[in-house]
């Protein structure tokens, strides 16, 4: 790869007690960075998203993410947010080789939202599961959490865990450690 990587992280509605079934979870924040293969961030984008199926965040979700109900109540709905993300990607005019996320969750969640809302896919067609590549490269039996992977290569997590923008920035730091 010679271009840039679009690293995306999403946070979604959630409840460990099942009041928000997995197939009804909705994205409530998208964080994205465009980074070099060495992990240098050259552009950032971030937005909260207003959920419509389960518009009231659970206590678990607000404690996990640190979001307030007002963060999502005042946000645009998914179709508007994903359109703005696509426009930002186009406006960067960077040669984006692929998009990446720490694990497959983000890809699945975005596909679920795109399907539910009937909107077009705006991300590059190729997805890099950074967690799977990292585990394979470092011969780990278990795929590590983002903070664990950073520690394994001598880096620290900066920011707030479960904030999509901070998670995307931290995942980008690991790009340099995924190359062959």
Whole-number Cα distances in Å, 151 to 34, 61, 141:
22, 26, 17
DSSP-based three-state secondary structure for 24: helix
Q: Which residue positions in the chain have pLDDT lower than 50? A: none
| pLDDT computed for residue 2 by the predictor | 59
Q: Domain 4-177's class?
A: alpha beta
| pLDDT computed for residue 3 by the predictor | 81
pTM to 2 decimals? 0.95
| pLDDT computed for residue 16 by the predictor | 86
């Amino acid at each position: 790869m010679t271009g840039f990587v679009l690293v995306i992280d999403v946070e979604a509605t959630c409840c460990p007690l099942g009041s928000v079934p997995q197939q009804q979870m909705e994205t409530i924040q998208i964080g994205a960075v465009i980074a070099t293969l060495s992990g240098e961030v050259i552009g950032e984008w971030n937005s909260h998203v207003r959920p419509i199926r389960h518009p009231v965040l659970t206590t678990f979700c607000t404690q996990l993410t640190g979001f307030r109900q007002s963060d999502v109540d005042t946000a645009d709905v998914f179709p508007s947010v994903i359109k703005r993300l696509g426009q930002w990607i186009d406006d960067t005019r960077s040669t984006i080789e692929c998009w990446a996320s720490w694990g497959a969750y983000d890809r699945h969640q975005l596909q679920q939202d795109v399907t539910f809302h009937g909107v077009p896919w705006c991300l590059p067609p190729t997805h890099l599961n950074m967690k799977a590549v990292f585990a394979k490269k470092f011969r780990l039996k278990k795929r590590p959490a983002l903070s664990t992977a950073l520690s394994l290569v001598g880096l620290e997590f900066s920011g707030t865990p479960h904030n999509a923008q901070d998670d995307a920035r931290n995942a980008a730091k690991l790009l340099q450690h995924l190359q062959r």
